[in-house]
Amino acid sequence: MYNSIDMNIIKIIKIIALTILFIATKAQSLLADEYTILAFGDSLTAGYGLMAEQGFTYQLEYELNQLGHKVTVVNGGVSGDTTSGGLSRLEWVLSSVKNGKPDLIILELGANDALRGITPDITRSNMERMLAILKQAELKTLVAGMMAPPNMGHRFSTEFNRIFPEVSEKFNMPLYPFFLKGVAGNGALNQSDAVHPNSEGIKVIVKNIIPYILKTDIYFEVKIDK
């Protein structure tokens, strides 16, 4: 038998449990209503060497909301990831974002493939397999293109640089031609390693990619009151 103190404790626990359930349900409802972008990529997406508020996903979310769009940008970046690594984790990451249905995916991978000299045919195959998964799931996707560093040689660079425009066309998905446009090779916009953008470089990337994002979905034709 429970005494009065035990019963009071049980009542309190029930109230707490119901409160938590209510909050969780409400949060899920709000998330379902909010436009969600999954930025899926490598260290350029993850924000290597930067404070969280300086990174790509944070700055992109901030700028889109400043434009009057209610948007959440999920950071699906893993530093050091290649297209092979991205392919291996894509479906798992998708399942964890908005019940597997993010409203838009920015697919940003390939930089580490180029830096490591991975055979372009492998990169192409991985990109095609990822885009096939996204196409099958009917998920809007913006392909963020990448270009090989000049020191990789003419043949490698030519084969690599063709991958992103060709696979995006094959799967009828929009392309942002070069994720590092205006930033690559500019010492003032990169960290000391001359590879990863600094906070100012991220601002340039965000500014350049936003017009492409706004063209991907009719959602962005409507603004909300802030």
Backbone φ/ψ region at 173: left (φ over 0), alpha (ψ -120 to 50), beta: beta
Among 154, 192, 193, 225, the one annotated catalytic: 193
- 96 is known as an active-site residue: no
Measured from the Cβ of residue 219, the count of other Cβ atoms closer than 10 Å reads: 14
Among 42, 43, 81, 113, the one annotated catalytic: 43
3-class SS string, 15-80 = HHHHHHHHHHHHHHHHHHHCEEEEEEECHHHHCCCCCHHHCHHHHHHHHHHHCCCCEEEEEEECCC
End-to-end CA distance of the chain: 55
d(C-alpha 90, C-alpha 222), whole Å = 30
**Alpha helix locations (H) across 76-188?**
83-95, 111-115, 120-136, 154-161, 163-170
- 225 is known as an active-site residue: no
- 125 is known as an active-site residue: no
Among 42, 69, 113, 196, the one annotated catalytic: 196
> Would you give the distance in Å from CA 124 to the centre of its chain?
19
Cβ within 8 Å of residue 14, ≥6 positions away: none
Active-site positions read 43, 193, 196
